Amino acid sequence: MIRSIIIILGTMLLISENGWSQHICGGVVGNREAFQTRLKQNVKQAKLNYSLKSSQETVYIPVKFHLVADSDGVGRIDYNDVFDELCILNSQFESLGMVFYIKDGFNDFDHTPTYEAPRRAGASARMLQEITKFGTEAVNIFVTQNADTGNTDNGTTLGFYDNNNDYVVIRKNQVGSSGSTLAHELGHLFSLNHPHYGWEDQPWDLEVHGKVVRTQVVNSSQSTGSVRVELVDRSNCEDSGDFICDTPPDYNFGFTWDRACPKFNTVVLDRNSDTIVPMQNNYMSYFLGCEPYAFTQDQVDVVIADYNSNQRSNLRSDYVPTVNIIEEELVLESPANSATTDFFNGIELRWTEVANADSYYLNFSGAGEDLRYIVNETAVYITDLSPNVVYTWSVTPFNETGGCGEKQSAILRTNDLETSTVDPAIDGSIVIQPNPAFISDNLNIYVESEEQAQGQYLMTSINGKVVVNKPLLISQGNNHIKVNTTDYSPGVYLFSILTSKGVTTKKVILQ
Ligand SMILES: [Zn+2]
């Protein structure tokens, strides 16, 4: 599949902006004992179900992305980064038979504490509220500016999993191009530990631990109690380190290792004098730059056991989302690139329909504005733009599983003319019957014009979606237009007639 290629794009696992970081993953926060208990149950269950592994069918996992901005609405991640992330994520989990899909759109909310310091209590309370409202039947992922407490560690933690409330928080700079941070955090969500569990705060150090590591137990702020030091011969793998036997011992060698990920060639021996060979490209390790990353078979089995556990029944349903990859290129048709529009507050945009896309993300950016629309149609009538602005507008085709569609952009200049200019030949003459109307009714629209004109008529929903757009030859005198509304949702619509002299609009209510 094409998705497999995309994984190559992920070149920056767990890299902090501040060079060597104190924490690259905030790990599992909340009740760690409960987490360990869940992990142990899943390890046990994975063994019981071993014979069923090959018959594991593809499972579709609903995800609610909560895209957080500060309280002024500033700083929210670009939706395109989220689509890119989903494309990468689904390639990463393809071999596990897991497909993630967007459940009922994005949840955008504005809350500075969550945006800047999601580890604080006020933030966690707010996130819980959002989950209760929008995310009870999904994996919940919060995309924020920071992923830490807002104190001195700001900027060093890239993501974490909250075990008490079962959500993941990830920094927005890790979403879309960085590759593996989200896969790592979802590994935690599905009950995986770091292979170097217990060594998070005290990576192996020759001066401290020696070439032969005789230490029996370790502790870290991310572990509960003492953790036994794992041995190469697997004799204690079931109750040491990450409890997973096919991940080799790792005493957090990745923490100080070269980011270019050369082979780990420092000779370190366990207390049996067996040489340790860590799995550098494990998603749950701290080694950087080791693409392509992988989960081991035992990790996969544990993830699947967690998905199938009683407490995850909220993620399971018979629903099958659109999984097709969007390969066709979208073309922006109108306005032409660099065109100046006739009016700044009434612009029709058109692009080509693209196979395998369910929806389109339309974005305007310019002069500090960031206007976002998600539409199902390939034409939209926009009334929200400002005068005399050079905008970049872009359209991205997508579907529930992301679709890996490519964004197309163009420049658009607005002038300072308003479309409120009403065509005087038509002004006040539009009559709609019946109004309000039932959607099963046909609308009869009567227009009296003082002169003949070439134009078009539009019906737009209150959100700016164009539901009808047809050319119209207006005769002098009485005109009768019929609109079939059986396919529309109830709501308020605007019926407009556009001619070269202006726009005349009348409200119509469908019920
Ligand atoms: Zn982690």
Q: How far apart are CA 506 and CA 188, in angstroms?
A: 54
**Do the domains 332-413 and 431-510 sit in the same CATH topology, yes or no?**
yes
Residue 378 in tokens:
């390939």
Q: In angstroms, what is the span from residue 147 Cα to ligand 1's centroid?
A: 12
- C-alpha 160 to ligand 1 mean position (Å): 7
Residue 411 CA to ligand 1 center (angstroms) comes to 42
Q: What is the rounded CA–CA span in Å between residue 470 and residue 214?
A: 79
How far does residue 222's CA lie from ligand 1's centre (Å)?
Answer: 9
Q: Give just the sign of the alpha carbon dihedral 50, 54, 60, 66.
A: positive
Q: Biggest alpha carbon distance in the chain? A: 99
Other C-beta atoms within 10 Å of 207: how many? 5
Kindly give the distance from the C-alpha atom of residue 299 to the centroid of ligand 1, in angstroms, as a whole number: 14
**Ligand 1 geometric centre to CA of 192 (Å):** 9
Query: Pairing relation of β-strands 477-484 and 442-449?
Result: antiparallel
Query: What is the predicted pLDDT for the residue at 2?
Result: 40
CA of 236 to the centre of ligand 1 (A): 22
Q: How far is the CA of 28 from the centre of ligand 1 (A)?
A: 7
* Tokens 């590591």, residue located: 213
* Ligand 1 center–CA 70 separation, angstroms: 26
What's the CA-to-centroid distance between 27 and ligand 1, angstroms? Answer: 4
Instruction: Give me the CATH code for the 3-194+299-315 domain, please.
Output: 3.40.390
Distance 194 CA to ligand 1 centre (A): 6
Residue 417, both tokens: 């003319």
Question: In Å, how far are 1, 302, 421 from 295, measured between CA atoms?
Answer: 19, 10, 62
Residue 21 alpha carbon to ligand 1 centre in Å = 13
Strand 379-382 versus strand 347-351 pairing type? antiparallel
Phi-psi region of 437 (alpha: psi -120 to 50; beta: other; left: phi over 0): beta
**Ligand 1 centroid from CA 448, angstroms:** 69
pLDDT of res. 51: 54
Strands 332-334, 139-144: pairing is unpaired
| DSSP-based three-state secondary structure for 511 | coil
Q: Which fold has domain 431-510?
A: Immunoglobulin-like (2.60.40)
Write down the pLDDT at residue 129: 97
Residue 104 CA, ligand 1 centroid: distance in Å:
28
- CA–centroid distance, 184 to ligand 1, in Å, is 6
Ligand 1 centroid, distance to 98 Cα (angstroms): 20
Using CA atoms, how far residue 164 sits from 30, 150, 184, 465, in Å, is 5, 20, 18, 41
Tell me which H or E stretch contains 186.
Answer: helix 181-189
Residues of the chain with pLDDT under 70: 1-23, 50-56, 149-155, 178, 419-422, 464
Question: Is the full-model pTM beyond 0.85?
Answer: no
**Model pLDDT, residue 110:** 97
| Nearest alpha carbon to residue 435 among 474, 493, 504 | 493
pLDDT of the residue at 12? 32
Residue 482 C-alpha to ligand 1 middle, in angstroms?
Answer: 60
Would you state the pLDDT for residue 22? 36
Which overall architecture, per CATH, does domain 332-413 show?
Sandwich (2.60)
Ligand 1 centre from 85 Cα, in Å? Answer: 18
Say how far apart CA 368 and CA 56 lie, in whole Å: 49
Whole-number Å distance, alpha carbon 306 to ligand 1 midpoint, is: 17
Q: Where in 181-257 does DSSP place strands (E)?
A: 217-218, 227-228
Beta strands in 335-376 (DSSP E): 339-340, 347-351, 359-366, 369-375
Report the separation in Å between the CA atom of 14 and the middle of ligand 1, taken as the mean of its atom positions.
9
Residue 37, H or E segment: helix 32-48
| Ligand 1 centroid distance, CA of 145 (Å) | 18
Domain boundaries, the chain: 3-194+299-315, 332-413, 431-510
